[in-house]
Structure 1
Amino acid sequence: MFDGGVTARPFTAPGRPHRIDVLIAGGGLLGGLLLWTLDLHGGPPLLGLPAALTLVALATMSAAELRRRTAPMTALSIALVALALDICSGTLIATVLMFTDLIYAAVLYGSPAAARRIPLSSVLVTVLAAVALTAFRHDPQVVTLSIVIALGTVTPAWTGLIIRNHRDAAQAARLRAEQTALLAEIDRAQAVAGERARMARELHDMVANHLSAIAIHTTAAQTLDDPAATREALGVIRENSVQGLAEMRRLIGLLRAPETPGGTAEPAATPTLDGLDALLAQAGTNGASSGLAFSLDDARPTDGSGSTVATPVELAAYRIVQESLTNALKHAAPGEVRVRITHERGAALTVTVSSPFAERPRPRAPGSGAGLVGMRERVALLGGTFEAGPQTYPAGRFWRVRAVLPAPEEGEPR
């Protein structure tokens, strides 16, 4: 029977005896009946009770066996009454053996409190029985009887406790293994997501600048009816295409493992702040047709007193400047785009990019909207602060991007 694609399981009544419990109860009952038929009793009846009551005790003990797994304490309580009746009416070995099994089951399947108390109680009962027998019967057989009582109570109780402890330890180990596997899968998924985000930032920052310049100059080449201007625009387009292709090849080289065919064992060069002059020169070429000029104010010490920042910080600063220049090419009003870098020993590295701000009906080139998100993520990964938005100055309104990056020196613990 199917319901929504799931196979319906057959109804199982609550507390239904386990198949093994049914076999134990049936085997004990048949064995006891065989012993009764062969008149194999453990002793004479006591208190004048009829020997037939051993069959009642046998049937009661068999019924208790059916509940050994589903209700172990209830089964053990019934078994105590059945055992007392069996001893007083002649004793069948099958009934005694089923009683020992019920002690074992009560420890193994019962509550943790029962698993602690029953083994200790079995030892106490055995000791009291041995003392009582010694007091009332001065007979060497008292030792044998004490051993038999211990075998019927202490042995199954402590066997059940040992097996239960092993079972619980195995279950705990299995749960720990499952938790470890789950945590490993979570770590793997987070690592993959983080790596995907890092690759997306790198790809966006490396290629967006060149593609934006291509889009701007393509538009200019289509709208201007000037062969000289068209040739100049095509030259800029070709230059940005070549540089963008080189950046893509560098990224592919980073992604390829050295062992893979076609991979390179040489580490690709990482952009540094020393390359900002070339970056702004390229931006000036790309933005000349839009009335944009670019200037760099590098306030880092040049007398050797400054420190060299860690590579991840320098790369993040370079990418922030690169993305800010790309956004200026797309959105800034005609004017000067200013880039300022400051850093002193023991202080943070601060990057500030200000571009003329004016409301435009549409950008000069389409964008993905991921630039600010990528810059914010880069700064957050380094534990810095980031802000971007329009600011009003005496000279007019500017769009300002400011990133403050903690800048430990190379080799300094971070």
Structure 2
Amino acid sequence: MRLPRPHRVDVLIAGMSLLGGILLWSLGLFMQRPETSPLPPWAALVPLVVICCQAVLRRTRPLTALAISCLALIGDLFTVGSLVTVIVFTDAVYSATVYGPDRFARHAPKVTGVLTVAVTGVLIAIFQEAESLLLGVVFGLITLAPATTGAIVRNHRQAAEAARLRAEQTALLAELDRTQAITAERSRMARELHDMVANHLSAIAIHSTAALSLDDPVTSRNALEVIRENSVAGLTEMRRLIGLLRSDSDDWEPAARPSLAGLESLLTQAGANGAASGLGFTLDTTVDGVPAEDGPGAISLPAPVEQAVYRIVQESLTNALKHAAPGQVAVSLDHRTGESLTTTVTSPYGARTGPRAPGSGAGLVGMRERVVLLGGEIDAGPEPAPGGGPGKVWRVRAVLPVHDDKEPDA
């Protein structure tokens, strides 16, 4: 197995330690007097060289380096000794704690602490002198101190790494939230723009086509009146939306929110726009199965629900103006108190001889998005005519869960 390449700092530490040890040895600076050592002074160079060479493994193989250092330190005890050998040994203990396995790092301070106490006790028992306590302190300085320091450094590094990872995750989540917020806001703006302007532009397209295709002054004048009315209304809506997008003031007052009370005027406008295409519009409102005399205004629901219903009806009427065959377009609201509000819009489905306006399908997408956001259901498509009549109808049916602001009295 190929050994990993040693870190250049470790190579520098090994080289500097060896040069320093050789310098001290050449100056005759030993840990003990030569006459008390059983080996000649040059023997101290052997453990010095061994322990300095292991320093290149202090990061890549910390436990192996520590084992080699222990053997070198034991061998150094039988020579005149070198201060550099002891210092490099303390670095080996420190490195093993910092770069070694987690289990070793957790137990190193405990084991070295127990060894320090045991060695101090043995020395006192053998020599029975106060100086033995100092030897125990020295042993603790070269074992317990570096192990404890290494454990502290390792814990700080792990805490810093965990904090860095948390910061990266937080930044990533913030970026995801920002992206989702931008996407949601763009979708909301697209829905609002489509709902506010598409109806007017569809009417303009249909009536301008009728005015161009029919050589009738009365028809052309009526078409131009409808075109002017829808142009002014569409321009007003566009200016309001542009003002909303450009405004950075909290005091800006938006237009009134669409509500169920405005459905009657919406159908009146649709009737004027669809007269040239042979379309008629009806509105039916029931509350708990009973017809509501006051129409949609009799239903009071949370603002998001009323706005969604208004936009669904508006888009359905716009699609009817674009594509429906001549006939009746029926809008019905069925409110079940405290349960749901079912909105159904049916229009004649089939070939159309009059003018048509192109469609993009964005309206159906916007309706589905609104319904899904409120936890409701929606389906749209052709169906057989109700009551077994001839032909087919295009039906849009949306069911929105509601919780009334006012519960009925018991």
Counterpart Cα distance in 1 of 2:104 and 2:355: 77
Alignment of 1:216 onto 2:206: yes
- Which residue identity does 1:37 align to in structure 2? S
- Which residue identity does 1:287 align to in structure 2? G
Show CA shifts across 1:287-327 (max 9, x none).
11111111111224458996621111100000000000011
Alignment of 1:26 onto 2:9: no
Show CA shifts across 1:73-127 (max 9, x none).
1111111111111111221011000000110111111111110122222112212
Task: Name whichever of 264-273 and 144-153 sits farther off.
Answer: 264-273
Task: Name whichever of 388-397 and 345-354 sits farther off.
Answer: 388-397
Q: How far is the alpha carbon of 1:131 from its aligned partner? A: 2.1
**What residue in structure 1 maps to residue 389 of structure 2?**
395
**What residue in structure 1 maps to residue 180 of structure 2?**
190
1:253 and 1:268 in contact (8 A); partners too: no
Show CA shifts across 1:218-266 (max 9, x none).
1111111111111111111111101111121232333343529xxx622
Task: Name whichever of 70-79 and 129-138 sits farther off.
Answer: 129-138
Alignment of 1:202 onto 2:192: yes
Show CA shifts across 1:192-215 (max 9, x none).
100100110111111111111111
**What residue in structure 2 maps to residue 4 of structure 1?**
none
Show CA shifts across 1:160-192 (max 9, x none).
111111111111111111111111110111011
1:307 and 1:345 in contact (8 A); partners too: no
Q: TM-score w.r.t. structure 1 length?
A: 0.90
Alignment of 1:115 onto 2:105: yes
Alignment of 1:43 onto 2:54: no
Alignment of 1:332 onto 2:342: no
2:98 and 2:153 in contact (8 A); partners too: yes
Show CA shifts across 1:24-43 (max 9, x none).
21221112111211222212
Alignment of 1:270 onto 2:260: no
Aligned sequence identity (%): 57
1:57 and 1:86 in contact (8 A); partners too: yes
- What is the DSSP-based 3-state SS (H/G/I as helix, E as strand, rest coil) of the residue aligned with 2:57? coil
CA RMSD of aligned residues (A): 2.3
- What is the DSSP-based 3-state SS (H/G/I as helix, E as strand, rest coil) of the residue aligned with 2:344? strand
Counterpart Cα distance in 1 of 2:285 and 2:68: 91
**What residue in structure 1 maps to residue 268 of structure 2?**
281
Q: How far is the alpha carbon of 1:49 from its aligned partner? A: 3.6
- Which residue identity does 2:308 align to in structure 1? A
Counterpart Cα distance in 2 of 1:306 and 1:51: 109
- Sort the Cα spacing of 1:251 and 1:229 in 2 relative to 1 into closer, same or farther, 3 A: same
Q: How far is the alpha carbon of 1:362 from its aligned partner? A: 11
Counterpart Cα distance in 2 of 1:162 and 1:361: 85
Q: How does 1:253-402 map to 2 (within 5 A)?
A: 253-259=243-249, 265-300=252-287, 301=292, 308-359=300-351, 364-392=356-384, 393=386, 394-396=388-390, 397-402=392-397
Q: How far is the alpha carbon of 1:361 from its aligned partner? A: 9.6
Counterpart Cα distance in 2 of 1:223 and 1:370: 28
Alignment of 1:142 onto 2:129: no
- What is the DSSP-based 3-state SS (H/G/I as helix, E as strand, rest coil) of the residue aligned with 2:176? helix
- Which residue identity does 1:113 align to in structure 2? R
- Which residue identity does 1:20 align to in structure 2? V
1:53 and 1:85 in contact (8 A); partners too: no
Q: How does 1:233-248 map to 2 (within 5 A)?
A: 233-248=223-238
- Which residue identity does 1:292 align to in structure 2? L
2:210 and 2:355 in contact (8 A); partners too: no
Structure 2 gap ranges (5+): none
**What residue in structure 1 maps to residue 6 of structure 2?**
17
2:326 and 2:352 in contact (8 A); partners too: no
Q: How far is the alpha carbon of 1:406 from its aligned partner? A: 1.5
- What is the DSSP-based 3-state SS (H/G/I as helix, E as strand, rest coil) of the residue aligned with 2:193? helix
2:166 aligned to which of 176, 181, 189: 176
- Which residue identity does 2:265 align to in structure 1? A
Counterpart Cα distance in 1 of 2:163 and 2:94: 24
1:61 and 1:98 in contact (8 A); partners too: yes
**What residue in structure 1 maps to residue 120 of structure 2?**
130
- Which residue identity does 1:395 align to in structure 2? G
Q: How far is the alpha carbon of 1:48 from its aligned partner? A: 3.6
Structure 1 gap ranges (5+): 1-12
Counterpart Cα distance in 2 of 1:319 and 1:213: 17
Counterpart Cα distance in 2 of 1:399 and 1:306: 27
Show CA shifts across 1:123-173 (max 9, x none).
122122112212221222101100000011000100111111111111111
- Which residue identity does 1:42 align to in structure 2? M
